Structure 1
Amino acid sequence: MATAVPQSFEKELPIDHDEKVLLSLGYKQEFRREFSLWTSFCVSFAVLGLLPSFASTLYYGMGYAGTAGMVWGWIIAMVFIQCVALSLAELCSSMPTSGGLYYASAVLAPPGWGPVASWATGWSSWIGQVTSAPSVNYSLAAMMLAARSITVSDYVPTNYEVFLLTAFLMIIQSCISSMPTKWIAFFNSFGSSINMVAVIIVIILIPTATTTEPKFTPTYQVWSNIDNGTDFPNGIAMLMSFISVMWAMSGFDAPFHLSEECAVADVASPRAIVLTSVIGGIFGWVLQVVVAYTVVDIEAVFNSDLGQPWATYLLQVLPMKAALATLALTIIAGFCMGQGCMVAASRVTYAYARDGCFPLSQYWRKVNKYTKTPVNAVWFNCTIGILLCLLIFAGEVAILAVFSVGAIACFVAFTIPISLRVFFVGNRFRRGPWHIGKFGKPVGAAAVGFVVLMVPILCLPSMVGSDLDSSNMNWTCLVYGLPMLLAFLWFAIDARKWFKGPRVNAKHAMIGQVIKELGTQA
């Protein structure tokens, strides 16, 4: 039997569709809805930043499993990442709020488990979001200083310079992220265009301008060469190389967090999620193939004095001027990517602070009366990010752990509400107007299985036995596990007494369900 639709809701539905959906979820409209399907896609595509993401994580893809890991690894990982994206899009259509995953976990959890499910999801999601901009900007700073090293032969960048440049980039991006929504949408549309154009230019430029002889590695060698850079068997090394794919593709959830600023969010936002994942997956794989066919000496790429694998690779296959131009294009695209990360992270922080998840939440949840954006949340994240960058002084392995933390944290947060929807809610899940029908549960199950497998894999160090020491240890367990442990301890000791999860309206009517019921009644 269909649930009765409140008469007032039915009458007012055509007036302001988005506001009614949000009110049905328990929140009032506070942002201007100035994002569209295109601009939401632009933010998420800018967050993906395929070219700078690939350049930043080359160490994991090529370094762990060689060219075979790059071409096969991306294909295999993307099949399951698409499952995650499709399942996430269904949740977004059903519950289009800035809280996103955190809100969905509270709604879908079994009775009495909503607060702890949303708490775990929220903290994991926030850790993934807050580490994204520092990791992007660290890599960006390293590329900028590598460019100087190429032109000034006796220059060697110091950790102090890398840290200051990374912090400076974050401050500039925070200033842009504090602007009104319309300006932010413009900047991110520009940034997304830069990222799209940059990927296409590089995909065309490298094969045509490469100076190596022969130009391309034989196909059989590219697809079969697992140049194992770990102490594990080839199969495990292949799985470990997935971190580059997962980190690069971890930004497709951005439209979910921007849904309260998007028009017709229950349709446009899920479409933006899927569009980002599909287009990003295709272009990312083509870029992987181009590099796999043209790289000459994998060992030299990672052992160069430049200390930046992407810059070393470009010098290996291109004339110096072309290599510097490509590196400059990557840097510009990387800045736009960091900007998109900062915007998405601020919306997550705002949404969680709105429900009291953080200490001093009353400050981080404020919406600036002039810009109508969560400015305090932007600068809170900026401060945390700069503090994380102090890991630079602990060595390269420590700061690189931020990349794997971002991948694990985001995908764990994606998986909690998806697993609840698949294994606990089942057919009682109320779909929004965008959904994948009967394929929802099997696709969601595949997504959960993939993440469950990958979490321990991404925590493995590349060395084992006597070769393993503090300098090459995988610090992901500490950088991700310690904050999560502290969050759970806080919940067990104190937060469980007052934290009841997001303001969930238990009888909220998902807009897809409302339209279906109205049609039935008519």
Structure 2
Amino acid sequence: MSTSEDGGGSSLRHKGGAPPVTTVFGPGDVPDHISDMSDDEAALATLGYKQEFKREFSAWTSFAVSFAVMGLLPSIATTMWYGIGYAGPAANTWGWLVSVLFVLCIAASMAELASSMPTSGGLYYAAAVLAGPKHGPLAAWVTGWSNWFVQVTGAPSVNYGGAGMILAAASIVNPSYVPTSYQTFLLSTFLMIVHACISSMPTLWIAKFNSVGTVINVLALIVTIIIIPTTAKTVPKFQPSSVAWGIENLTDWPDGVAVLMSFLAICWTMSGYDAPFHLAEECSNASVASPRAIIMTALSGSIFGFVLNTLIAYTITDVQAVIDTELGQPWAAYLVQVLPQEAALAVLGLTIVCAFSMGQGCMVAASRVCFAYARDDCFGVLSKPLKRVNRRTLTPVNAVWFNTFIGILLLLLIFGGASIDAIFSIGAVAAFIAFAIPIFIKITVVGNNFRRGPWHLGAFSLPIGVLGCSFVVVIVPFFSFPSVHGANLTPDNMNWTSLVYGAPMLFVIIWFFVDAHKWFKGPKINIHHHMHSAEIEGVPVSPKKVIDVESGSPSKASSTK
């Protein structure tokens, strides 16, 4: 990995002595009016967009949102059904290690794309540019809709899990209390509305809120890691390594399949690192800060996640009892199983606070994705209001509340029994499909012609991209498997992922070929495009004046290669 300036990177400095911003573009690629722009505005303008947000995020605050979206503690807590509940302790130990290596490959490849094309469109924009004018619109359409599906299911899935933990805490205190589906729905909806209000605030306020949330997430994670082994009431405190690293298959499938299915919990947990890509237009020095934030999130999540998961694997005494608990929440059942009640409630309380922060981070990231796609008219007639930036807060408030409304509708799946589980599996399936498409195009179509940014993988770019894409192709089908089959398979324990994700995706693909291809041409740039010699929206890259960045004066004409 490198942040050197080879491969097309340069450092731009404007009039007035402003600090330079490292960018993929050389002086010959920037627009003629660069002297009137800030450094980050100039870098964004070369990608075809004018600056619409305040750049009040940094590498740290972008990481803060990303780490909050990942929400390790609440993510691990809410996905125990799909990890240890499928393959037992092995899912938390060597299963985590194996899968997270491939996840890191995907994150590194994504960071490389973010450095090259730091826009809020993120993966969607990258897919369009890399696929070229002929296939770019379809690549962008599929990537964009898949990515929006994961974004719009993020907040409701987290808030559903958070509501479950709050109600489970009430059940621990009052054993006679049994939460109802109606109460879970109302509490989840309340959390959605609170997060929408916070996400409608000015960018600086959101950045500060998420910075505090990230500190709380990290501290809560560390406190939890300390409390579990020091206060465990079980005798002995730790299970033998043969148990902690062994498979306890709770499915009807062979052990190998059960382990692959358990990767769902890991992939859902480790899918929030794309947030800095979508916040790039609000981040200073985005072509370096955004990829750094992606890598910081993925690495820290991998390490902390392995420590906590291993701790769970070594301390849990009865996996079946945790999964089948009457509390309705396996994390709460696990804490009660291994800790005294006071300690269990304390850790559960910390997890609930972290889940609140995570849900808010998901809401922010989703709103930026929705805005970026609406800016390109992906939502048809709804695009016009969704791409408006609120004049008072300078944030996409309409996009926030649109996602909130869709999220509340998704929460109605609570009344469908097992169908609510689909919002978790969609989060993994839709995310990794969207992650893989532009990476796959880069390594198979663009190859060495890819114009990398100041942060890049160098000679390791191709093998890392191949490993990441191969993992997605192998693992995604298993996320649609039900835990049982044959005579044991009923509507109540069916995996509805194929329907809840597949049906909307099939609809939007049919929509593209029937109608959308006539008017959707990929990212709709609002100024001349200067990236990768690609033609977008019918605007060809033609010879243009080269600008002297220091003086702002033109020199001889040249073409972008």
Which category describes the TM-score, using the shorter chain as reference length?
over 0.9
Work out whether 1:256 is the aligned partner of 2:298: no
Matches within 5 A, 1:128-207: 128-207=150-229
Contact map agreement 2:30 2:46 (CA 8 A) in 1: no
| Cα distance between partner residues in 1 of 2:252 and 2:281 | 47
> If the length of structure 2 is used for normalisation, what is the TM-score?
0.89
| Cα distance between partner residues in 2 of 1:169 and 1:9 | 44
| Cα distance between partner residues in 1 of 2:369 and 2:33 | 32
Work out whether 1:316 is the aligned partner of 2:337: yes
Matches within 5 A, 1:58-77: 58-77=80-99
Work out whether 1:402 is the aligned partner of 2:423: yes
- Structure-2 change in CA distance of 1:77 and 1:164 (3 Å): same
Q: Which has the higher helix share?
A: 1
1:120 to 117, 139, 142: 142
Matches within 5 A, 1:506-517: 507-508=530-531
Q: What letter is aligned with 1:337? A: M
1:286 to 292, 304, 307: 307
Work out whether 1:440 is the aligned partner of 2:461: yes
Q: What letter is aligned with 2:115? A: S
**Number of the residue aligned with 1:373:** 395
| Cα distance between partner residues in 1 of 2:156 and 2:148 | 13
Q: Which portions of structure 1, spanning 4 or more consecutive aligned residues, are displaced by more than 6 angstroms? A: 1-4
**Number of the residue aligned with 2:48:** 26
Q: What letter is aligned with 2:183? A: E
Contact map agreement 1:110 1:424 (CA 8 A) in 2: no
What SS does the aligned partner of 1:217 have? coil
- Structure-2 change in CA distance of 1:8 and 1:339 (3 Å): closer
| Cα distance between partner residues in 1 of 2:395 and 2:108 | 29
Worse overlay, 214-223 or 266-275: 214-223
Deviations 1:216-275 (A, max 9, x none): 00112211x200011111111111100111000110000000000000000000000001
**Number of the residue aligned with 1:96:** 118
Q: What letter is aligned with 2:430? A: A
Work out whether 1:501 is the aligned partner of 2:529: no
Matches within 5 A, 1:449-468: 449-468=470-489
What SS does the aligned partner of 1:109 have? helix
Deviations 1:137-194 (A, max 9, x none): 0010011011111111211111100000000000000000000000000110011111
Matches within 5 A, 1:249-398: 249-359=270-380, 360-395=382-417, 397-398=418-419
Q: What letter is aligned with 2:284? A: A
Deviation at 1:316, TM superposition (A): 0.4
Contact map agreement 2:443 2:466 (CA 8 A) in 1: yes
**Number of the residue aligned with 1:55:** 77
Q: What letter is aligned with 1:329? A: L
Q: What letter is aligned with 2:107? A: A
- Percent identity, please: 58
Deviation at 1:11, TM superposition (A): 8.9
**Number of the residue aligned with 1:216:** 238
Deviation at 1:286, TM superposition (A): 0.3
Q: CA RMSD in A?
A: 2.0
> If the length of structure 1 is used for normalisation, what is the TM-score?
0.95
Deviation at 1:277, TM superposition (A): 0.1
Deviation at 1:70, TM superposition (A): 1.2
Deviation at 1:9, TM superposition (A): 4.4
Contact map agreement 1:25 1:509 (CA 8 A) in 2: no
Q: What letter is aligned with 1:263? A: S
Deviation at 1:110, TM superposition (A): 4.0
Matches within 5 A, 1:402-421: 402-421=423-442
- Structure-2 change in CA distance of 1:152 and 1:412 (3 Å): same
Deviation at 1:16, TM superposition (A): 2.2
Unpaired runs of 5+ residues, structure 1, are none
- Structure-2 change in CA distance of 1:501 and 1:8 (3 Å): closer
Unpaired runs of 5+ residues, structure 2, are 1-6, 9-24, 534-545, 550-555, 557-561
Contact map agreement 1:311 1:327 (CA 8 A) in 2: yes
Deviations 1:59-113 (A, max 9, x none): 1111111111210111001100000000000000000000000100000004410
1:233 to 254, 257, 263: 254
| Cα distance between partner residues in 2 of 1:7 and 1:103 | 18
What SS does the aligned partner of 2:257 have? helix
| Cα distance between partner residues in 1 of 2:239 and 2:485 | 31
| Cα distance between partner residues in 2 of 1:508 and 1:24 | 6
- Structure-2 change in CA distance of 1:440 and 1:194 (3 Å): same
| Cα distance between partner residues in 1 of 2:346 and 2:30 | 60
Deviation at 1:303, TM superposition (A): 1.6
Deviation at 1:485, TM superposition (A): 0.8
